[in-house]
């Protein structure tokens, strides 16, 4: 089951994208060398908060990432001394395969849907994808990836559905506020809370 990792790093202290770039470069190199799959790790900086760095990575399975790569010598060496540089605010995996790089844009719109129990069984995922596309959150002709979270903690009762819509010019297709208002109205039957952000790609 191919999955996509979504992680949010919150930079600490005096850290900036400039000071973090070597770490990000090394992280991409280490991960892609371990999986032997090039161009499967990408970074994005939140448009309205430069201290937030998102990682999107593709893995063959949850076990490959959590039981294989995470404890590997290369990753452990990478993370040594990194604890003071950032905090990990979000770390999750959802069932989706990232499209080829040619289908990606300069930015990404990330929508986390915290759904009511039963939404997954009711087949509500495609409805959320369609609603996000119709509101123009990532413009026309984009290729969003979406899927249910596969690692929801046992003590959490909500189901979570993640959508990543790629924007060709790095900008959302319409005004954020209006688009999100329309989106929330369209999914309110099954969704208790929506978190959304726009992030621009970091070239490392």
Q: CA–CA separation, 35 vs 33, rounded Å?
A: 6
pLDDT mean values, one per 10 residues, the chain (204 residues) = 96 97 98 96 95 98 98 97 94 90 78 94 93 79 86 87 85 71 93 93 91
Give the side-chain half-sphere CA count within 13 A for 25. 8
The residue from 37, 68, 94 where one domain ends is: 94
CA–CA distance from 191 to each of 110, 114, 123, 188 (Å)?
16, 6, 13, 5
User: Looking at the 3D structure of the chain, how many domains does it have?
Assistant: 2
Parent domain of 61: 3-94
Whether residues 123 and 153 share a domain: the answer is yes
Whether residues 189 and 146 share a domain: the answer is yes
The per-residue pLDDT for 191 is 95
The per-residue pLDDT for 162 is 95
The per-residue pLDDT for 103 is 63
Q: Of 154, 153, 169, 163, nearest to 194 (Cα)?
A: 163
Please check whether residue 102 lies inside any domain of the structure. no
Burial string for 17-26 (b: 16+ CB within 10 Å, else e) reads eeebeebbee
The per-residue pLDDT for 55 is 98
pTM: 0.93
Q: Domain of 27: which CATH number?
A: 3.30.70.100
The per-residue pLDDT for 136 is 77
């Amino acid at each position: 089951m191919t999955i996509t990792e979504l992680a949010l790093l919150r930079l600490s202290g005096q850290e900036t994208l400039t000071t973090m770039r070597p770490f990000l470069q090394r992280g991409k190199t280490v991960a892609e060398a371990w999986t032997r799959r090039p161009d499967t790790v990408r970074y994005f900086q939140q448009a309205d908060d430069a201290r937030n760095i998102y990682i999107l990575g593709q893995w063959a399975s949850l076990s490959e990432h959590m039981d294989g790569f995470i404890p590997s010598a290369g990753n452990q060496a990478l993370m040594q001394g990194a604890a003071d540089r950032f905090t990990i605010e979000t770390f999750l995996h959802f069932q989706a395969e990232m499209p080829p790089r040619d289908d990606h844009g300069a930015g990404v719109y990330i929508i986390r849907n915290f759904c009511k129990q039963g939404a997954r069984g009711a087949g509500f995922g495609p409805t959320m994808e369609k609603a996000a596309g119709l509101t123009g959150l990532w413009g026309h002709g984009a290729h969003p990836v979406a899927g249910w979270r596969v690692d929801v903690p046992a003590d959490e009762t909500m189901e979570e559905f993640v959508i990543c819509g790629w924007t060709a010019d790095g900008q959302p297709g319409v005004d954020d506020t209006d688009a999100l208002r329309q989106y929330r109205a369209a999914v309110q039957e099954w969704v208790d809370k929506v978190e959304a952000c726009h992030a621009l790609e970091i070239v490392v």
